[in-house]
Structure 1
Amino acid sequence: MAENDLNQNVNNFLKFVKGLGIFGVLIVLGLYLATGIYVVQPDEQAVILRFGKYVETTGPGVHWHTPSPVAAVYKAKTTAVHRIEIGFRTINPGPPARYRDIPEEALMLTGDENILSVDAIVQYKIKDIKQYIFNLKQPYKMLKDAAEASLRQIVGKNLVEEVLTVGKEKIQRETKDRLQEILDKYETGVYVLNVQLQDVQPPKEVIGAFKDVASAKEDKIRYINEANGYRNDMIPKARGEAEKALNDAAAYKSKRINEAQGDVARFTKLYDKYKLGKTVTKTRMYLETMEGILPNVDKIIVDKNLEGKLLNIIGKEGDIK
């Protein structure tokens, strides 16, 4: 009887252990399957790989995939704007912001063989997470190297004066286009939003010489502007004086022509009268001439037919002389 009870207890214990083992296996299996649960944030996308091969891309939300090592999930922020710094690094965004210069990245050669220190920022987004995950082993390093190479290439095509002044916008645009061309060629899944030149200046060793050159160019421009201003002031005055002289000459010409025509007309009339009475005209002209020559002298006109005869001349007072 005692032996039967012992066997019964042993069987019951074995059944309990067996049941406990199955339950434990189920718990372990459940925990293992739970490791396949993953959450994708609103600004993220996830890529699922099974046995190292691409399976699908999932968006925001709670998802499940076959647990490791069968499958794996890689996530990336596809809506965030990422940033690459060339020539400097941000130590503390501040305020106040603090930066550290990286001369080996910043120093670049221009098209006219001048050296400039160029700091730039590249902003980009992930447009294809599959290409981004599979084709980029070290995404940041690869993108920074491509951005730096593109910027050096474009700066090397421009003169130093263009890089320092009016050519910045063109350089930014061409660098963005060149960088995007490179990234698309290697199917990186990256879209370049913007390239901005933060600080462009000569190296510290030659900045004084560059300032002198800039001052000389400013003086040149100022002198040219002053000369142009003087020219713009004098040319209208000279033109006005020339126009006035031409008008005065035209008026004098017209006056002299009119006077000459009047003299001709008067002479013609005199000549016509002269032809009608030559003796009378000659006498009148003689008397007018003498009156002009001797304006304040008393003059006595004697008929030549009375020459040699005694004449009574009545003066101003009525006396007979």
Structure 2
Amino acid sequence: MPSQNDDPGSQWGSRPPSPPDIEQAIDRLKSLFLGGGSGKDSGRSLGGLLTAAILLLIVVSVWSAYYTVPSDSVAVVQRFGMYLKEVPPGLHFRLPLGIDNTTIVPVKRQLKQEFGFVTPGARDPGQGTREGGRETQMVTGDLNAALVEWVVQYRISDPVKFLFEVREPAETLRYVSESVMREVVGDRTVDEVITIGRQEIEIEALVKMQELSTKYVMGISIDQVQLKNINPPRPVQESFNEVNQAQQSKEKLINEARREYNKVIPLAEGEKDQRIREADGYRLKRINEAEGDALRFNALFTEYQKAPEVTRRRIYIETMQDVMPNIDSKVLMDNAGAGLLPLLSLDGKKERQQ
């Protein structure tokens, strides 16, 4: 039997001797964990192992107490499962050994959910639990079928509500998006959904998705709803393409006719305006000339009334000065004479000399 000082329980008094089978079991356990040592050496080995385990636990605890929050995220800290606080980006400390639990929430990152297709490498929460083929099958307001693919882009506006108010918020958002899109598409005809109504559908779906997200307190802000491919079902896709081609041909002919119309009509209107302006200009010219002539005549008539004989003679002389240079043959006659007066034609001589 070992001495009383070597027995770990000697400080509480001596203990009764153990049966041989219990002592053998204790020796086997010591040999298994301590490599076959016994007595004082075995106690020292057990103490060293316990010290190493404690040091390792301390190192692991200190190492796990520090954590880093990315620049586009915040950390939600829970202490014993209860919400404690939000932590901004950077290096932070928490209580180890599961006392404090942190969840990283990317509040500044734009997330998206794809419906009907999957972009390679894209992280779409909840995509793995849904069937893309079924969620795109919709019925329009005129009871036609259409395959609608769309994308919802959103941000996490309130991390606390996102984590604790709704269970599986990403999956809930998918249900909300699908429900709203079916409602909006069901209010329109298939032609509106495929052609002219895409923008209206996106705007209305965005508003209704945001209203439901606010109502359910999901902590999500919807940024954009974007429609992608919208096609008819495969059995009628060929016929639909033929109808679509016919409509495109119709639009093409209409656009060509409008182009010719815009080419001819503005030119004719321009010529019409030009003729009208020319006529207006000619009218104003004739009116101004007539008014000027009338004013000139009135002025002459006023002067004539002051000295009729002088004015008459001056007008006669000025008129003869304008007329005589244009006459080649000149004949001067005397009223009192009996015959013609010969006149030397100097103008003809000058012309022959030239």
Structure 1 distance, partners of 2:53, 2:134, is 60
| Aligned counterparts, 1:1-321, within 5 A | 25=54, 28-29=57-58, 31-91=60-120, 102-218=132-248
Structure 2 distance, partners of 1:91, 1:31, is 38
Cα 1:173/1:75, change in 2 over 3 Å: same
Provide the secondary structure at the position in 1 that maps to 2:188.
Answer: coil
Q: Is the 8 A contact 1:88 1:106 kept in 2?
A: no
Cα 1:209/1:33, change in 2 over 3 Å: same
| Offset, 1:221 | 5.9
Q: Is the 8 A contact 2:166 2:217 kept in 1?
A: no
> Which amino acid letter does the alignment assign opposite residue 153 of structure 2?
Q
Structure 2 distance, partners of 1:179, 1:74, is 26
- Runs (5+) with no aligned partner, structure 1: 1-9, 94-100, 241-321
Provide the secondary structure at the position in 1 that maps to 2:119.
Answer: strand
Q: Is the 8 A contact 1:83 1:124 kept in 2?
A: yes
With a CA cutoff of 8 Å and minimum separation of 6, indicate the structure with the bigger relative contact order.
1
| Offset, 1:176 | 1.0
Structure 2 distance, partners of 1:22, 1:218, is 83
| Offset, 1:14 | 9.1
- Runs (5+) with no aligned partner, structure 2: 1-38, 123-130, 273-354
Q: Is the 8 A contact 2:144 2:190 kept in 1?
A: yes
Q: Is the 8 A contact 2:151 2:228 kept in 1?
A: yes
Q: Is the 8 A contact 2:116 2:148 kept in 1?
A: yes
> Which amino acid letter does the alignment assign opposite residue 171 of structure 1?
I
| Offset, 1:27 | 5.9
Which has a greater percent of strand?
1
Structure 2 distance, partners of 1:51, 1:144, is 31
| Offset, 1:68 | 3.6
Q: Give the TM-score taking structure 2 as reference length.
A: 0.53
Q: Is the 8 A contact 1:108 1:115 kept in 2?
A: yes
Structure 2 distance, partners of 1:144, 1:119, is 13
> Which amino acid letter does the alignment assign opposite residue 61 of structure 1?
G
Structure 2 distance, partners of 1:172, 1:28, is 55
Give CA deviations for 1:183-215 in whole Å, capped at 9, x if unaligned. Answer: 111111111111111111211211122233334
Could you say what the CA RMSD is over the residues aligned between the two structures, in angstroms? 3.7
Identity over aligned pairs, percent? 30
Structure 2 distance, partners of 1:222, 1:24, is 82
